[in-house]
Structure 1
Amino acid sequence: MTPPVRLVEITAGNREAVCALRVDPDQERFVASVARSLADAATTPEGEPWYRAVYAGDEPVGFVMLSWNVPPGRPGILGPYYLWRLLIDRRYQGRGFGRAVLDEVVALVRADGAGELLTSHQPDDDGPGPFYRKYGFRPTGEIDDGEIVVRLAL
C-alpha cells in the first residue's frame, strides 16, 4: 500500500527541517540537495519552478520540484511540465514515498491540463532510471546535459 503523503509549501517554519533532508552519500551524484534546489529555483525563474516539501503525517520525508507550465520556446528549459527534482530522505527510501509523490504530482499536472510529464536522469543503472521506468516513464530519445530525457504520457 502506498503511504499517504501531502505536498506542503516551504515556509520559514519548515525550511530548516526540509533542507536537512538527505539522500545516501552514494546517491548525491544523482540528486541535488534541497538547499541547492531552492537556490536553483531562485536563479532560474524562467523555469517556472514549483516546489513543495513532502510530508508523511507531520514529518517531512522529501522534496519535489517541477517546472510548471513553462511557455514554449524558452531556451534550455524542458517542459511545459518537467520533474526537476525528487528527493526522498535516506531514512524513508524503499517505503513507497517516491511513488506516492509521483502519484500526487501526476494528478496535479493532469488536472492542470497537461498531456505529459518529462524528467531526466543520468544513464547509470544504479541511479533513478529503473525507478522512473517502473513507474511508466519512457525515453524520448533526447539527451539533455548528459541526462536521458524520459516522458510519462498522461
Structure 2
Amino acid sequence: MTTARVRLVEITADNRDAVCALRVHPAQERLVASVAKSLDDAASTPEGEPWYRAVYAGDEPVGFVMLSWNVPPGRPGVIGPYFLWRLLIDAAHQGRGYGRAVLAQVVELVRADGGTELLTSHQQGEGNPGPFYLGLGFEPTGEVDEDEIVLRLVLTG
C-alpha cells in the first residue's frame, strides 16, 4: 500500500474555520475531541507545550493533529516529552491512508527533534483506535491515564 500524501499546515485565520469544520464519524465522536475543543485545550493547557497542525491533502484540509512537544520532565498531569494528544481525520476522508501518513511525518519530526519515543493514549470501548496504533508499532505501556490506555512507539534502533 502506498502512503497517502499529506502536508502539515499551520492553522491561521484563513483556514481555521475550514479546519474546525472537520468531523469524525458520529460513532467516533465519543472517542475523539473536535478540532475546536482541541484548540481550546491547547490554549488552556500551555504546560502541555501544545504543537498542532491542520492535515492537508492537496489544497483541502482532511484532518488535524496535536502533540505535547518536548515537555520538560516532571510537569504534573502532562505525559511526555512527546505525546500524540489528538489525531482526527474527517469522516469523508477516512480509509485513504491519511492517518498513517500523518503519523509517519510526526515520527520523523519528533526524531529530528531528538525524541526517542512517541506516546499516545486512547479511550477504551468499541471502535477505539487501539488496533490502528498497534498496527503502526505502538505497544501498551501498562499505564492508564484517566481511563485511557497509554501506548508507546519506540523511535530508536
Same fold (TM over 0.5): yes
User: Which residue identity lines up with residue 7 of structure 1 in the other structure?
Assistant: L
Structure 1, unmatched stretches of 5+, are none
User: Which residue identity lines up with residue 110 of structure 1 in the other structure?
Assistant: R
Corresponding residue of 1:19: 20
Corresponding residue of 1:140: 141
Q: CA deviation at 1:125?
A: 4.6
1:50 partner SS:
strand
Whole-angstrom CA distance in 2 between matches of 1:153 and 1:40: 26
User: Which residue identity lines up with residue 117 of structure 1 in the other structure?
Assistant: L
Aligned length: 154
User: Which residue identity lines up with residue 68 of structure 1 in the other structure?
Assistant: W
Corresponding residue of 1:7: 8
Corresponding residue of 2:52: 51
1:88-147 Cα deviation digits (max 9, x unpaired): 000000110000000000000000000000000012252100000001100000000000
Whole-angstrom CA distance in 2 between matches of 1:15 and 1:93: 20
User: Which residue identity lines up with residue 5 of structure 2 in the other structure?
Assistant: P
User: Which residue identity lines up with residue 23 of structure 1 in the other structure?
Assistant: V
Whole-angstrom CA distance in 2 between matches of 1:16 and 1:93: 20
Whole-angstrom CA distance in 2 between matches of 1:125 and 1:107: 30
User: Which residue identity lines up with residue 28 of structure 2 in the other structure?
Assistant: Q
- TM-score (normalised: structure 2): 0.97
Corresponding residue of 1:74: 75
Corresponding residue of 2:105: 104
2:27 partner SS:
helix
Whole-angstrom CA distance in 1 between matches of 2:16 and 2:110: 24
Whole-angstrom CA distance in 2 between matches of 1:139 and 1:122: 13
The percentage of counterpart residues that share the same residue type is 76
Whole-angstrom CA distance in 2 between matches of 1:66 and 1:99: 15
Whole-angstrom CA distance in 1 between matches of 2:139 and 2:149: 10
Corresponding residue of 1:41: 42
User: Which residue identity lines up with residue 137 of structure 1 in the other structure?
Assistant: F
- TM-score (normalised: structure 1): 0.99
Give the aligned CA root-mean-square deviation in angstroms. Answer: 0.6
Structure 2, unmatched stretches of 5+, are none
Whole-angstrom CA distance in 1 between matches of 2:126 and 2:108: 27
